[in-house]
Structures are given as structure tokens and as C-alpha cells.
Amino acid sequence: MSVSKCTRLSGALVKELLDSVDSVLFDCDGVIWRGDQAVPGAPQVINLLKEHGKKVFFVTNNSSKTRKMYADKMSKLGFNVNEEEVFGTAYCLAMYLRTVCKLQGKVYLIGGNAMRQELEAVGIQQTGVGPDHISGSQADWANVSLDPEVKAVVVGFDEHFSYMKLNRALQYLTQQGCLFVGTNRDTRLPLEGGKAVPGTGCLLQAVETAAQHQAQTVGKPNHFMYDCVASQYGVERDRCLMVGDRLDTDILLGSNCGLKTLLTLTGVSTVADAEAHQKSGCPERQGMVPDYYVESIADLLPALQG
């Protein structure tokens, strides 16, 4: 097998790579679907991989859906998936608080209903979901009523993010021992047609600036999402492939965890981006160079059908 990085994956190399792995981790948006449309050929690829005995998992930084919501969406699009194969940041953050932090107490949640549901599924209560508009003066804001049981501030995607939520997070975070955890640092959510809306990274940055310290994040490129999959399914690093469309999250996660990496060009990053990292000579950027790239994961189909 080729040892140079950022190799176009085609011909006999596809089968060679697939034979070398038992597990495949896929990012979702920009990889298996775009918006509400499956990437053409993607359902067949996923379903055939499973038929060939591969373990397939889905790792996504998007915190606005539960595992079940993802599995339902995938089924509708033709993917043969069950919710235990889905690792979104809403679920993974709940697991992180439960298994790593061993949180005793409630969460002040900047996030939505999916995060609330995943927290509740592991027995963690929250406060904060929904609108929180401003009233009163600065002195009122600084003395806003706080829930004494809250022991962690959690930041995920929240379309109701407001100054009052930012303020409430600050007041909790100035209390001794309050944990501070975020789902992910993606700065934008890309949409079809080149448009984008602000991502969780913007909200997290605002809270971090107020708190004057950084949150721990569980999303890609942090290794926790891989750990979550590996601990539940006994995945071997050197027989695992990470497939994604973003160099700074998906491919870097793969590098951070010692996985093989495959960039697909149906999403955010380009081959030119990868080559720029490769030529930079900067060790930190080398982790964002994938082993292989494809135009689309549909390029895996011939090897699976042959």
C-alpha cells in the first residue's frame, strides 16, 4: 500500500484499504448526506460495508439531534442504521459528564431539546433550555437567581443564545468547582448554496471570553468521540478508517487517534487545502493531511459490488 499521504483512492487501492480495516467511522453532513439529501450512492456504500461484515459508526459534531433522531433520518434516506451506531455530540457530551466527570448535580445547559434528552437519558437533570430574555439592570444581571444544584455549564448549539444566557453562564462559572464543557468548536454550519449560519464555536467563544478560561470540548478533533465508540465496540485503531469532509475536525480526529483517514470532497475541504497543510512544514498541520481522498464515498461502490 502506498505510504505517501493524500493519495487519490481508486482502482485496486480501494479494495486493499477496505480489506485492511474492520471498522469505518463516517462523519454525516457533507459525507453521507448534504442537508436533507443523501449523497448519491452513499446508502448503498454503508449498507454494503455492513453486509461485508464491517462495523460502521457515525460521528457528528452537530448537537441538535439525539441518536434516535439521526437514526430516523438515516432510515428515511435509505441507510440501514440503528441508533447505537450513532455518536453525536449531544449523546457523547452526556456520556462524558457521566463517565469521565462523574458529575453529581445538574447542568446549566446552553443548548436545545436534543441535548436535554440525551442528558436525561443518562440521568442528568438540566436547566436553561429555551428563550431567556434580558430584563432589569446590570446589578440584577449579576445577582440573577441561580440553581444551587448546578455543577456544570454546558454549551452546545442553541438558537436561543442570548446575552442573558451568556451572563447566567458567567455567574455559574464564577462559582468554585463548576465544570465547563462544550460540544464542539465548529465556527459555522455550512448550508447548501455556499451559505452558512454561526456554529456552536461562536457561542462557546463568547462564554469562554466571559469566563476567562477555556472549556473542555468532546467533539472532533478531540479523541473522546473515538474513545466512546472504541470502548463500546472494541475497535482496533490500526484496523479503523475515519471518513470525513473536514480536515480540521474529521481528519484531525483520525490522526489524533492513530486511524487511517479518508477525505471525501462532497463537503467543506478541498485537496488544495490538504496540500497546503502538507507543504506547510508545520507539525500541527500535518495531522490535517488525510491518507487518501475520494470525490465521493460512492467511489467505494465498485470495490464493494465486485
State the residues that interact with a copy of itself by CB under 8 A. 131, 133-134, 138-139, 141-143, 158-164, 166-167, 170, 174, 187-189, 191, 195-199, 201-203, 205-207, 209-210, 212
CB of 133 to a copy of itself, least distance (A): 7
Is 72 marked within a binding site? no
- The annotation status of 147 as a binding-site residue, yes or no, is no
220 annotated ligand-binding residue: yes
Q: Exactly one of 19, 29, 147, 248 is catalytic; which is it?
A: 29
Question: In one letter, which amino acid is 193?
Answer: G
Query: Angle formed by the axes of helices 163-173 and 200-211, to 10°?
Result: 50
Nearer to a copy of itself, 205 or 270 (CB): 205
Least Å distance, CB 135 to a copy of itself, is 9
22 in catalytic set: no
Judged by beta carbon, residue 104 or residue 138, the one nearer a copy of itself is 138
If you write DSSP's letter for every residue of 256-292 in order, what string do you get? Answer: HTT-EEEEETTSS--HHHHHHHHHT--HHHHTTS-SE
Closest distance between a copy of itself and the C-beta of residue 158, in Å? 7
Closest CA to 85 of 117, 126, 56, 123: 56
CA-based torsion, 217, 242, 226, 281: positive or negative = negative
Residue 170 CB neighbours (<10 A): 19
User: Residue 305 and residue 259: Cα distance in Å, rounded?
Assistant: 25
- Closer to a copy of itself by CB, 102 or 133: give it: 133
State the minimum distance, in angstroms, from the CB of residue 205 to a copy of itself: 5
Residue 74 has which C-alpha cell?
Answer: 438515516
Nearest to 182 by CA among 90, 64, 59, 87: 90
Known active-site residue 273? no
**Set 19, 22, 27, 140: catalytic member:** 27
55 is in an annotated binding site: no
Which residues are tagged catalytic?
27, 29
> Residues at the annotated binding site?
27, 29, 220, 245
> Residues at the annotated binding site for Mg(2+)?
27, 29, 245
> Residues at the annotated binding site for substrate?
220
